[in-house]
Structure 1
């Protein structure tokens, strides 16, 4: 597995990571299998994937416990990342997912100890503020995150879904190691300003949902495939009308894949990897076959023609959320 040094923090990560959310949270509950998820994590490590990402939100809490069990005896083989700062309202779950930001310093300080316990580790390699809380100045939230580094509970701190103003204000308080935000062939907003800012300021960029929540693989061809308990069924881009039009994007990805004898997933991930050496995508995988398919994207070299064709694919119909 190729490695990357995303930014100036000194973190060395495999060129592609593993996002663990789908193993415990918001996708189709009937497809969850903890034993299979543990096998996926173990296989990922065997294949050279050294970056594992979770959050206290997922489950909530159960995903950290799952990852902790999977890493027992193998903790020193990975860079372990988790997040704090989103609190779920479970009253409507799984019919509807509702989360509220909480960036209060006291919440951050209290939450890290729970994550450490669930993950079965003495230190978290990368602790990320899941969302900036609009009710709390980012300087206060980030100051609390920085305290955890000084206390030896975490090694590096990062942000998620932050804008350039957030990044600049946070970096004035303490170094920002990474920014995690959505980036894929149907979610390109970070290309405008956030991704260039990260590159210029030595901040690693960690794209979540680089496969468009599975859509870019070509596996979802109609809205009827999604069960009501799958949170994608609530998202505008997956509505019946929008999805039918968004298939044009998948068609373009499949065309490029055909040139290389590759899968659409590999092409979609290779495009993300091509956005810069400071970029490390973290696709989620709940099945061994999907994991192994994703990992092979690291060795797919897209041509200038491929990249031009992918860059000119139509914009998606419907908002992300």
Structure 2
């Protein structure tokens, strides 16, 4: 698998990253044991993936650290910290340093490649920049963090209000961005600034419930027709993605969804998460397949191009 530079960092990463959160959490979110999760991480390495995105909140840091420890210099680990306590108040800055130290201990490593604020909302950004960034920059000087990142909450902020403000600030080297063919707003609202400021991007939500479950997709489409974000006349009510699944060059909606994201200008890598080695194999095959044909890209954008209110989750 070819590697690409992650924005302005010196990190060379696979264009496919293993997402260790989401609903599956490497299978641990589906009540599978840690041995299953370890098998998924091992298989990711075998497939050529060198980017692993985890977080304290996912409960998968230990698994990632255990499996990649012997190849630490060859892999890129991204993890995150919460910044509000259980009562919803902002934590003291030293608590974030404490969170970092605990993450390092769980992963049995001396440093993390990308350390991100987890799920920042628009109203949180100024506080994070003013109160937390200087403290974490000290950790960069100490060699415990290589690069600083920020992640949005795509479900609550589907118009990317936070990232539109955060990327130009200049202190974030990497951004986690929600993007899929159901809501492609980041194409205009986020990626141009990421390219301008050379901020690396990891795409999340390339495939979530709406693009893997036909019933959830129909619920989303009905909602979007009611809000006027999808024109009723442009979709087949019985099979709204027939133009996609009926195309000879497309194997499935999931495959098409990954290919849609993979080659978008401004995208450094696309995250895929699963608790199944077979699913991981097929997802990597999709993400390393050629781009979707131009006519399908155009039709997807014609149908869904006005959508800004949903994340596809």
Question: TM-score, with normalisation over the residues of structure 2?
Answer: 0.80
Does the alignment pair 1:140 with 2:137? Answer: no
Q: Deviations over 1:18-58 (max 9, x none)?
A: 10014765999444332121111111111111100001122
Distance between the aligned counterparts of 2:89 and 2:246, measured in 1? 39
Residues 23, 63 of structure 1: 8 Å contact kept: no
Does the alignment pair 1:205 with 2:194? Answer: no
Unpaired segments of 5 or more residues in structure 1?
90-98, 224-235
SS of equivalent to 1:181: strand
Does the alignment pair 1:309 with 2:299? Answer: yes
1:6 matched residue in structure 2? 6
Q: 2:181 aligns with which of 161, 164, 185?
A: 185
2:159 matched residue in structure 1? none
Q: Deviations over 1:55-97 (max 9, x none)?
A: 1122xxx2112222232323333111101125575xxxxxxxx
Q: 2:101 aligns with which of 86, 91, 113?
A: 113
Distance between the aligned counterparts of 1:115 and 1:205, measured in 2? 22
1:53 matched residue in structure 2? 53
SS of equivalent to 1:49: coil
Unpaired segments of 5 or more residues in structure 2?
153-161
SS of equivalent to 1:18: strand
Distance between the aligned counterparts of 2:26 and 2:75, measured in 1? 25
Distance between the aligned counterparts of 2:145 and 2:96, measured in 1? 12
SS of equivalent to 2:292: coil
Give 1:108 shift. Answer: 1.7
Distance between the aligned counterparts of 2:85 and 2:29, measured in 1? 17
Distance between the aligned counterparts of 1:287 and 1:316, measured in 2? 31
Distance 1:25 1:19, change over 3 A: closer
Give 1:185 shift. Answer: 1.3
1:215 matched residue in structure 2? 210
SS of equivalent to 1:36: helix
1:81 matched residue in structure 2? 78
Question: TM-score, with normalisation over the residues of structure 1?
Answer: 0.78
Give 1:105 shift. Answer: 2.2
2:256 matched residue in structure 1? 267
Q: 1:149 aligns with which of 133, 140, 145?
A: 140
Give 1:275 shift. Answer: 1.1
RMSD: 3.4
Residues 272, 279 of structure 1: 8 Å contact kept: no
Distance 1:116 1:24, change over 3 A: farther
Distance 1:259 1:12, change over 3 A: same
Residues 210, 269 of structure 1: 8 Å contact kept: yes
Residues 216, 268 of structure 1: 8 Å contact kept: yes
Give 1:242 shift. Answer: 4.4
Equivalenced residue count is: 290
Residues 23, 32 of structure 1: 8 Å contact kept: no
Give 1:182 shift. Answer: 1.0
Distance between the aligned counterparts of 1:18 and 1:302, measured in 2? 22
Distance between the aligned counterparts of 1:79 and 1:248, measured in 2? 43
Q: 1:281 aligns with which of 270, 277, 287?
A: 270
